[in-house]
Amino acid sequence: MPMQERFLVDVNLSTVPLFKTRCLVIGSGIAGLSAALAAAARGQVILAAKSDFMESNTAYAQGGVAAALGDDDEVDLHIEDTLKAGGGLCDPAAVRLLAVEGRKRCLELIDLGVEFDRVDGKISFTREGAHSRRRVIHADGDATGRAISRTLLQAVRNHPNILGLENQFAIDLLHENGNCRGALFLDTRYGRYTRVEAGVTVMASGGLGQIFRETTNPAVATADGYAMCFRAGAELCDMEFIQFHPTTLYLAGAPRFLISEAVRGEGGFLINRAGERFMKRYSEAAELSPRDVVSQSIFKELAATGDTCVYLDVSRLDPELVARRFPTILSVCADYGVNLPRDPIPVRPAAHYMMGGVVTDMNAATRVRNLYAAGEVAFTGVHGANRLASNSLLEGLVFGHRAGKAEPGADAGFGPAALRKRLPAHGTRLDIDDITRSLKSLTWRNLGAYRNAAALSETIEKLKAWSSYVLAEEFHMRPGFEAQNMLTTARLMVESALRRNESRGAHQRTDFPETSAAWARHNLISLNDPE
């Protein structure tokens, strides 16, 4: 994907206010907070968030954290379930690290004060799709991510070595000769630039769901970290593997609110408009199949019936269980006239989680010196072609902690990382809202759960055309930067999808419906790839 290596703005850095720190962490989800706390034990840390600290994919995570903590569970079983769900593309060593260290990190969360739900004094476990045991721990019923974020954030705020900066949009990484030296930020409250020079930079910016029209992700998930790392020379991998969550609320006027997989784990089942339970027609494991299988089955059922949604029936569940385990879902559904557990919940899949990302080693290091990545933005090898439910928070804990322990390299010092001269601007006024709406519709139509070469090729041509003038513009506001990042990342995703001539996990090609042994490998993409 040949693109000129450049930055998004033309700024004289000598005029920009400067912060210096041992470690810069970009992003305040579970990976960023974990990295900041681990790094603070070694020196000064700046933690920067594009919005307020609580606005992240982590805070919206409902189901919980998967960890082999139960009396009937074992690390090897967790590893086996993860590998099985991943469609043959998981890195076994990374998966073992995730499961082994994940237990330790979860116990540390408990020591830190996260109050996971308990029954008779013992931690309560739930089961989710493709797990062989009830191993998902949860907090506040269905508000696990928010509970973890609150606790970690309080620890961050109390730590004397951490300076937190909210409303700081990371525009680009400062890099020179393959070495990262921090980042340039836009303070979105006052419209001023800020420069942070750092010995170690940790990218923990989260996901990219806002590229799609239908997504569970919050408004901040605009693919910024993928695009920034790509422009800095990092390698990305398996960008075709976007997970579609099977069950999101589907009502006119309602947000695409995620209905946790734990609802099915507790006994909820999927029905069509005729009231028929249909999942058994597609998979023996029915509602507890891996997410890719459930999502694809729902789309097949919708194609067969001509309907726009299916329904999640929870009428068999004890009302007290629903109120205790799913208070947030209960409240949101009630706001839109769905009274649980009596009424079935109208649901359909939506873009949820990126399995691919910025390539790292087991210590979260990228190929750009002194640049680390953790959380959803990173590719660690643990998810393969389809992420096992509730392994995402665990990955953020484990690899965020590892990234925070990184030591600056010998060439990490602060120096003249200058912004390169921009491409010439067209000088036109662009309607950013129209661009992003067009992008979302295009990707949802052609890069959704089912793809084919003709649709992907059409998408690439449109993305190239739009990029020719959108990426050439110089913006000084967050929506413009986000649009550029989404265009760049969408093109990486489409080109990756076009390359993989098979169907595997979350990537389904109608023109290559079989899984190919030749494609039991990873799909790398970087700035200097030939077109």
Strands in 236-237's sheet, in edge-to-edge order, are 378-379, 357-359, 236-237, 524-525
Does 6 participate in catalysis according to the annotation? no
* The two three-digit tokens of residue 372, written as one number: 């680390």
Partners of 391 in beta bridges:
none
Strands in 125-126's sheet, in edge-to-edge order, are 65-66, 136-137, 125-126
Contacts of 11 (CB under 8 A, 6+ apart): 184, 193, 419
Contact between residue 197 and residue 181 where contact means Cβ atoms under 8 Å apart: yes
Alpha-carbon span 125 to 66, nearest angstrom: 9
DSSP 423: P
Element (H, E) at 323: helix 319-325
CA 480-483-487 angle, to 5 degrees, is: 145
Contacts of 356 (CB under 8 A, 6+ apart): 236, 237, 238, 239, 240, 241, 379, 496, 523
Pick from 201, 172, 179: which is nearest to 420 by CA? 172
Strands 18-26 and 168-176: unpaired
Backbone dihedral angles phi then psi of residue 457, each to the nearest 5 degrees: -65, -40
Q: Which residue in the list 22, 256, 291, 369 is annotated as catalytic? A: 291
Contacts of 455 (CB under 8 A, 6+ apart): 445, 446
* The two three-digit tokens of residue 2, written as one number: 């040949």
Write the CA distances from 130 to 171, 300, 382, integer angstroms.
39, 20, 15
Q: How many helices (H) and strands (E) does the chain have?
A: 14, 22
CA 184-187-189 angle, to 5 degrees, is: 170
Which residues does the annotation mark as catalytic?
Answer: 291
